[in-house]
Amino acid sequence: MSTVKAYGNQSATALLEALNIERRALNADDVNIEILYCGVCHSDIHTARSEWGPAKYPVVPGHEIIGRVISTGDAVSRFNVGDIVGVGCMVDSCQHCSSCEDDLEQYCENGFTGTYGSADKHLGGHTFGGYAEQIVVREKFVLNIPGNLEIAKVAPLLCAGITTWSPLKHWNVKAGDKVGIIGLGGLGHMGIKFAHAMGATVVMITTSAAKGNDARLLGADEVLISTDESQMDQHKNSFDFLLNTIPVGHDVDPYLNLLKRDKTMVMVGAIEPLTNINSGVLVRKRRNIAGSLIGGIKETQEMLDFCGEHNVLPEVEMINMQEINEAWNRVVKADIKYRFVIDMASLK
């Protein structure tokens, strides 16, 4: 084992502070990574503040990790010392259930091992994430980063990116489709970028007219103000796909009415009860409402390769590790365009 510097919190009400954590010695199929950059996800905050149920403390968050390989186990064949790699929301899964066999480890029927907050089957206790100097990860769950991408901006692709990419691919969004991205935040801005790069006609659907210019700069062809009934009426029955990134429970019926027959709205933002789902809105057009959770390792690699080919990157604001508590408060206030990334050199 080795002791490394990290940042974490000791209770739901405590600020994040410097602490030391243990990383395991290398197994044969492990990769040891020096963490260069780590994205900040709202999930980090929900977990650390026990907003999704009691957390295991200390919490060391971070599941959008970009780093450099510094050593490998004897059986590792895909990575060499010096490679720039990524680690996302998972660091292991059972590898033998039907979901894992289908390269859908995020739906592992025995539960995937989260990058932080999951049972650590090697050291006992629970896993610690990327707000740290180093991390040791099974080779299967390490990702190649295309060499042309600006690595300081890549980290949010490993959560916000794959969360929006996976449903766009699964529901076969293609060139010429009319795609609505509902909500312009960390997820929504990536949804716009991906749908635009896929050749779709992209409509940003928002309650805020002030976000219209930003949406167009990101690649939206049109902006639809969802509180304007006349605009919503004009777009009824016209969308091939809707990606709903609103992070809280809300009335989904007005959005469902935008879909064509047999088309789908996918929820990726709100992980809580929704209100006013009128089955008549579904029945009359055989519409669908569905959910989606990140993506498997194979799919995440495909997403990264697509980003390399099309130069798709998130919009980020760089911070030092010591600024993390202020950054979290800004995330809660939605005062960020659109993701924070921590320069982990500041931890040394």
List pLDDT tens digits, range 198-228.
Answer: 999 999 999 999 899 999 999 999 999 999 9
pTM: predicted TM-score of the whole model, two decimal places: 0.96
List pLDDT tens digits, range 105-161.
Answer: 999 999 999 999 999 999 999 999 999 999 999 999 999 999 999 999 999 999 999
If you average pLDDT over every residue of the chain, what do you get? 97
Alpha carbons within 13 A on the beta-carbon side of 161: 32
SS (H, E, C) the chain: CEEEEEEEECCCCCCCEEEEEEECCCCCCEEEEEEEEEEECHHHHHHHCCECECCCCCECCCCCEEEEEEEECCCCCCCCCCCEEEECCEEECCCCCHHHHCCCHHHCCCCCEECCCCECCCCCCECCCCCECEEEEEHHHCEECCCCCCHHHHHHHHCHHHHHHHHHHHCCCCCCCEEEEECCCHHHHHHHHHHHHCCCEEEEEECCHHHHHHHHHHCCCEEEECCCHHHHHHCCCCEEEEEECCCCCCECHHHHCCEEEEEEEEECCCCCCCECCCHHHHHCCCCEEEECCCCCHHHHHHHHHHHHHHCCCCCEEEEEHHHHHHHHHHHHCCCCCCEEEEEHHHHC
- How far is it, in rounded angstroms, from Cα 341 to Cα 321? 9
Exposed/middle/buried for residue 204 (C-beta within 10 Å: 0-12, 13-18, 19+): buried
Position 130 scores a pLDDT of 98
What domains sit in the chain, N to C, each tagged with a CATH number? Answer: 2-159+314-347 (3.90.180.10), 161-291 (3.40.50.720)
Task: Please check whether residue 244 is in contact with residue 252, taking contact to mean a CB–CB distance below 8 angstroms.
Answer: yes
Both structure tokens of 198 = 């896929």
Task: Please check whether residue 89 is in contact with residue 129, taking contact to mean a CB–CB distance below 8 angstroms.
Answer: no
Q: Which of 42, 103, 63 is nearest to 330 (CA)?
A: 42
Position 131 scores a pLDDT of 98
- How far is it, in rounded angstroms, from Cα 220 to Cα 203? 6
Position 272 scores a pLDDT of 86
Contacts of residues 230-236 at CB distance under 8 Å and 24 or more positions apart, as own/partner, are: 232/257, 232/258, 235/203
What's the Cα-to-Cα distance from 232 to each of 31, 203, 224, 331, rounded to whole Å? 50, 12, 7, 29
Low-confidence ranges of the chain (pLDDT < 70): none
Task: Please check whether residue 35 is in contact with residue 65, taking contact to mean a CB–CB distance below 8 angstroms.
Answer: yes
Position 275 scores a pLDDT of 79
- How far is it, in rounded angstroms, from Cα 166 to Cα 169? 5
Position 270 scores a pLDDT of 87
Contacts of residue 138, Cβ cutoff 8 Å, sequence gap at least 6: 27, 29, 30, 31, 91, 92
Contacts of residue 192, Cβ cutoff 8 Å, sequence gap at least 6: 181, 184, 202, 204, 215, 218, 219, 220
